Structure 1
Amino acid sequence: MADTGLEFHPLSFVTEGTDVVVGRADTGTYAVLPDDGAALLRRLSAGVSRDEAAAWYEHCYGEPVDVDDFVATLHELGFLRAAGSTAAAPAPLGPPRFQRLARALFSAPAWLLYAALVAAAAIALARHPDLRPASSHVYFTGSLTTVTLVLIFGQLPLAALHESYHVLAGQRLGLHSSLGVSNRYNYVVFETRTNGLYSVPRRRRYLPFLAGMVVDVVAFAALALLAAALRTPGGTIPLAGRVCLALSFAVAARLGWQLLLHLRTDLYYVLSTALNCYDLHEASKAIFANRIRRRTGRLRAGRPSPRLVDETQWTDRDRRIGAWYGWLIAVGFTATIGLAVFVTGPVAVTFVARTVSGVATGAGTWHFWDSLVSLVVFTVQIALPATLALRKRRHRSGRKPKLVNA
């Protein structure tokens, strides 16, 4: 077995129970290895030859190992640089740009300020029920165009703030997080890219996952308090206060959205981390789909066996948890319908009713043009994410799951 002079990219090793998470923080590529596999990788990355590594492994673990096959897997994962490559190893990255700001925003004084805001908002909501989130708050003015534009452009900075807190929570740990734009179904969303998150211990990942929801709660509290401060002694809420209530309703709806774990929201990643899983969603989907295929296959006597997804591509832990977690996906879809009916539904029904009423007044009226413009803006809002979704689907079209015969 000839040695080819293996050259490795910088790798991180994080022990989690009987497994070790190994990966590259620069690309976000990680693999879960058993203790012996991680130990073998450490020997190879330290410069030990393949022959020496194989002999060491057999001496320590009492059985031979196919180092060539192991190295081929490392190549597939992108952990190895080309043998004899003259490319210099990447220079170590310095501290993240906003690390000092991140530490200030998650310091003890900051947490005290957040708690004070939330407590004050809770008191205001208890005293004034009309400040509590309600779908009627969305239509804070008679102009549909104004409502649509304020909700679109008012939510963008709030959504950016949500994801920025994810980024800052990662930078607080020294990770080089970044912010991007993508889509989720028919919504434009900001996305956090924290490639090195699995290079830190599991207990330190919770805050980066929860940071967005933390700032959502704080933003909701601040908007409610501002609306309460603008409230007149007679109980009237002026336009600025009604705008705050409309935006606070949108923030509350986004917090409710986080409960839909099947959409891989922030709470999904918190739960997955707590359960010590790495790809729970995909594993549970595959297991659930295989169950359905097996059952339908039994009912189709005389037909070919159904094709099943290869479940061995996930860890034992993911498969064990995924065996029951898959049912929560079905529950999640039901919850999505409930959220649409009781939260999004009333807002949509009112929008349609007002739009139809405005268009029916005729082209010579202000309500007609207001309704028409709002409809155009709403259509563009739906069309843009749909275009992004189509592009994403085309990009992923070549990625097929592994299939095996039943």
Structure 2
Amino acid sequence: MPGYPPDSVITVLPYSHRREADSAVIGDLDRQVFLSIPIEALDVLEWFAQGCTPAEAGLRYEAKHGETADLDDFIDVMVAEGFITVDDGTAEPVPAADTPADGSAPPDGGTQRDNGSKLRWKSHMEWISRRTAQRIFSAAVLVACGVVIAAGLLTAVLNPGIIPGATILLFPEHFALLTWSTMAIMIVGIYLHEVAHLVAARAAGIPARIGIGTRLYILVAETDMSGIWLASKRQRYLAFLAGPIVDGVFGSFAIILLKLMETGTLSVPQEIQWLTAAALWTYFGRLLWQCFFFMHTDFYYVITTALGTRNLIKDTEKWMGNQVRRLFRSPRRADLSDLSPRELTSVRWYSAVYLLGRGVTLASLFAITLPVLIGYLSQAFLFLTGQDSRINSFDFATIVLVAVMLDGGGLYLSIRNLFRRRRARRAELALRDDRLATARASTAGS
């Protein structure tokens, strides 16, 4: 669009921000809109908030940074994301966009919600006050959690034989009943994991909500706490680690219970022992999932917080792709010129962690997923061919239903989200074309 008049009146709408070394995160918690911008851009936004016109802000920028700022592009972005409005002397001020601009996000994969809407973004469990949330995650509670987890790890190290293999999920008796019981325990565990994230975010004064999403084609629960990027680093660490801490505590309890059952200190039916072992694997599986560093998992966000990077996964994939192209003497290179030396160093280090995450994923495939899957399939084959099998018709229906619920549900959501993103992208391009046509018409008529 044409340049804004130097004396345009800029109105800055309410926002929060957090400064870092060379960047800043700005956000509107009510609308759940967050952006990562250069630290110099935050200066401009603050000058606008003080009443500066584009001309005055440009002079300040040149005096402070020794170069001329391209304020028109910056104003375009801020208007589109709903942080400012512009009165350029025409009949109507240039308003914030009414349509969400797809793709804008806080550092590394946070989400944008209801861009342009003035309605408050509703969080879940608002009845939990910030003070209550802070008590739940007080230092004393965290120390107690650490003691339980340490006790569970020590028990496992000293008694490695009490940890069953993943094939414990192939229950030799009461297959359907124990499988559905394990599913119920897993669902409750997942819910508590996500609630822990939500409460930790609430302790930082950040709204959050729990929903369903996908990673690849896998169905997952997830907590949207995008506003956590406005919190301190310590609060972000706690918010990201809250879920794994809960998993670690309950997993440790399961290990200790298995030890008590093994020694006879705790006498329970064999089915309860199998169920406890299966529950342990659900917690272990969630903790292992967090090691998939090539996806947006809890541990991944901990790493990005420690390194202070903006888009670590994509930058690392670009850098690794450049190394492969260099090896094969390909002239094509991904542009990484916008990365600071510190970010580039982080990308190089993270490439090893990224590959480690891939290795853990591959190892879990062969150590857990395939043995269990093969066991299910072999028993299903024996049942379908009329041979001696551990399962009956109800058990077989359980296997099919669980597979449809987990893999089928995840695949359905992945395909649906893909089409939604395409429609949103088309709508955004159509809006941009309409704005460009309007700008050209305004230019031609002036």
- Which residue is 1:31 aligned to? 36
The 10-residue stretch of structure 1 (212-221 or 197-206) with the greater mean CA deviation from structure 2: 197-206
- Which residue is 2:346 aligned to? 321
- Which residue is 1:167 aligned to? 198
Give SS of 2:25's match: strand
Change (3 A) 1:339 1:11: same
The 10-residue stretch of structure 1 (93-102 or 378-387) with the greater mean CA deviation from structure 2: 93-102
Change (3 A) 1:61 1:137: same
Change (3 A) 1:315 1:182: farther
Q: Which runs of 5+ in 2 are unaligned?
A: 88-92, 97-115, 427-446
- Which residue is 2:182 aligned to? 151
What TM-score results when the alignment is normalised by the length of structure 1?
0.83
Counterpart pick for 2:393 among 325, 350, 369: 369
Change (3 A) 1:270 1:133: farther
Counterpart pick for 1:65 among 52, 69, 74: 69
Give SS of 2:294's match: helix
Change (3 A) 1:32 1:274: same
- Please say if residues 23 and 36 of structure 2, whose CA atoms lie closer than 8 Å, have aligned partners that are also in contact: no
Distance across 2 between alignment mates of 1:91 and 1:148: 41
Q: How does 1:94-133 map to 2 (within 5 A)?
A: 96-98=126-128, 99-122=130-153, 125=156, 129-133=160-164
Distance across 1 between alignment mates of 2:377 and 2:307: 43
- Which residue is 1:273 aligned to? 305
- Which residue is 2:209 aligned to? 178
Distance across 2 between alignment mates of 1:165 and 1:114: 13
Give SS of 1:14's match: strand
The Cα offsets for residues 132-180 of structure 1, whole Å up to 9 and x where unpaired, read as 2432432344243234323333211111111111111110000001111
The question of 1:388 aligning with 2:418 is answered: no
Q: Which one-letter code corresponds to 1:390 in the other structure? A: I
Shift of the alpha carbon at 1:273?
1.0
- Please say if residues 359 and 369 of structure 1, whose CA atoms lie closer than 8 Å, have aligned partners that are also in contact: no
Q: Which one-letter code corresponds to 1:283 in the other structure? A: D
The Cα offsets for residues 350-380 of structure 1, whole Å up to 9 and x where unpaired, read as 22222222333369x9944134213321331
- Which residue is 2:360 aligned to? 335
The Cα offsets for residues 190-248 of structure 1, whole Å up to 9 and x where unpaired, read as 11111211112223211111111100101112233444555673887522232121111
Counterpart pick for 1:207 among 233, 238, 252: 238
Counterpart pick for 1:378 among 402, 415, 420: 402
- Which residue is 1:403 aligned to? none
The Cα offsets for residues 325-371 of structure 1, whole Å up to 9 and x where unpaired, read as 345434432321111111223222222222222333369x9944134
Counterpart pick for 2:319 among 287, 312, 335: 287
Shift of the alpha carbon at 1:118?
3.1
Q: Which one-letter code corresponds to 1:346 in the other structure? A: P
Give SS of 1:6's match: strand
The Cα offsets for residues 270-306 of structure 1, whole Å up to 9 and x where unpaired, read as 11111110210111112323444565573xxxxxx75
- Which residue is 1:345 aligned to? 370
The 10-residue stretch of structure 1 (227-236 or 237-246) with the greater mean CA deviation from structure 2: 227-236
- Which residue is 1:302 aligned to? none
The Cα offsets for residues 13-60 of structure 1, whole Å up to 9 and x where unpaired, read as 3221233333333324212313x3321221112322222222222333
Change (3 A) 1:250 1:62: closer
Q: Which one-letter code corresponds to 1:387 in the other structure? A: Y
Q: Which runs of 5+ in 1 are unaligned?
A: 299-304, 401-406
The 10-residue stretch of structure 1 (71-80 or 232-241) with the greater mean CA deviation from structure 2: 232-241
The Cα offsets for residues 101-133 of structure 1, whole Å up to 9 and x where unpaired, read as 322221133224324433554565467655324
- Which residue is 1:356 aligned to? 381
The percent identity for this pair of structures is 23
Distance across 2 between alignment mates of 1:126 and 1:207: 27
- Which residue is 1:254 aligned to? 286
- Please say if residues 9 and 86 of structure 2, whose CA atoms lie closer than 8 Å, have aligned partners that are also in contact: no
Distance across 2 between alignment mates of 1:21 and 1:322: 20
Measured on the aligned residues, the alpha-carbon RMSD in Å equals: 3.4
Change (3 A) 1:346 1:46: same
Give SS of 1:189's match: strand
Aligned residue pairs, count: 391
